[in-house]
């Protein structure tokens, strides 16, 4: 059986738990793009949410005084470029947390794209993603609302794009009056970076953490690197209060990082005995479910 059939990855009726409570506490912003929901986090930060597809992808428009960035370009189902340009008048460029398909799908629309320099990022820049990788994202059980008018899943691909700047660990993105520090955090992918906003005390975590099933089995993923990245983020906790993930919900209290780290170490040591098994591309995977997150990893990454 596939992982999906076993509900290791995609729980049946996942949309029945929506809407998530956090959104009732945030200010909704009206836009011209109905595929997205947009929420104002402060005067210079917007969360762009895709609630109608299983990934529940989150991108963000982050403004400084002189420049703005779009953190990730989402699934490619709605027009995120048009939306982002409605939210800011400042010069805008893309900063990717990593280069899995649901984070780079509309990179090709932008003249300036920044990615963390890693093997996967270099490959995806050249190849994009074919329809065989995108179409399953809108397959049976993956969406619960009609797709945008004119969207054709059979022709849906992620074209190659040009990375204009390769980021390094520790470098600072200066937006004018607002700086974000690049923190290399592999484990979910080998080109993954978190972004630390010390002024607002936020950490954008990409896919290294979100409230849901966090994966270490996808291309570029590794459980040992995942643990090392969590140790790094935990050491940085005095610098931030909230996590800004790339899926499901923003504004997550930081304390959960310590719990994820503790559980990941137990999983790596083979000491977490309660899990759901599945198979993905012929490899055995395990889902370890906890209160507000899950860790999904290859069985072969766990000590016997």
The three-state secondary structure class of 22 is helix
- 126-179: per-residue pLDDT in tens? 999 999 999 999 999 999 999 999 999 999 999 999 999 999 999 999 999 999
- The Cα-based distances of 28 to 41, 83, 230, 244 in angstroms read 10, 14, 32, 17
Q: Which residues pair with 284 in a beta bridge?
A: 279
**Separation between Cα atoms, residue 298 and residue 6, nearest integer Å:** 15
pLDDT-derived band at 189, boundaries 50, 70, 90: very high
Burial class, 5, CB count within 10 angstroms (exposed 0-12 / middle 13-18 / buried 19+)? exposed
Domains defined along the chain, listed by start: 14-254 (3.60.15.10)
| CA within 13 Å, CB half, 3 | 20
The answer, yes or no, to whether residue 190 has pLDDT greater than 50, is yes
pLDDT-derived band at 303 (thresholds 50, 70, 90) equals confident
Sequence-distant (6+) residues with CB within 8 A of 254 are 203, 237, 240, 241, 242, 243
| pLDDT, mean of residues 196-220 | 96
71 compared with 304, residue with greater pLDDT: 71
pTM to 2 decimals?
0.96
């Amino acid at each position: 059986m596939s992982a999906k059939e076993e509900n290791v990855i995609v729980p049946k009726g996942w949309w029945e738990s929506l809407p998530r409570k956090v959104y009732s506490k945030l200010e909704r912003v009206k836009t011209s793009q109905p595929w997205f929901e947009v929420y104002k986090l402060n005067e210079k930060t917007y969360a762009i949410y895709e609630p109608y597809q299983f990934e529940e992808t989150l991108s963000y428009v982050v403004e400084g005084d002189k420049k703005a960035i779009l953190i990730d370009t989402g699934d490619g189902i709605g027009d995120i470029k048009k939306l982002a340009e409605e939210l800011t008048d400042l010069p805008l460029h893309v900063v990717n947390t990593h280069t899995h398909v649901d984070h780079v799908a509309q990179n090709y629309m932008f003249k300036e794209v920044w990615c963390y320099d890693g093997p996967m990022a270099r490959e995806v820049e050249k190849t994009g993603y074919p329809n065989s990788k995108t179409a399953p994202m809108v397959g049976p059980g993956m969406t619960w609302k009609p797709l945008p008018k004119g969207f054709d899943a059979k022709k849906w691909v992620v074209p190659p794009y040009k990375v204009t700047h390769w980021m390094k660990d520790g470098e600072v993105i200066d937006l004018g009056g607002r700086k974000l520090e690049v923190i290399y955090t592999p484990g979910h992918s080998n080109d993954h970076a978190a972004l630390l906003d010390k002024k607002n005390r936020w950490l954008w975590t990409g896919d290294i953490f979100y409230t849901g099933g966090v994966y270490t089995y996808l291309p570029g993923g590794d459980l040992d690197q995942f643990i090392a990245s969590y140790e790094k983020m935990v050491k940085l906790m005095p610098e931030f209060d909230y996590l800004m993930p790339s899926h499901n919900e923003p504004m997550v209290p930081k304390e959960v990082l310590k719990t994820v780290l503790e559980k990941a170490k137990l999983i790596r040591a083979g000491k977490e005995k309660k899990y759901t098994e599945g198979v993905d591309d012929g490899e055995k995977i395990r889902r370890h479910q906890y209160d507000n997150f899950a860790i999904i990893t290859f069985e072969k990454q766990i000590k016997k």
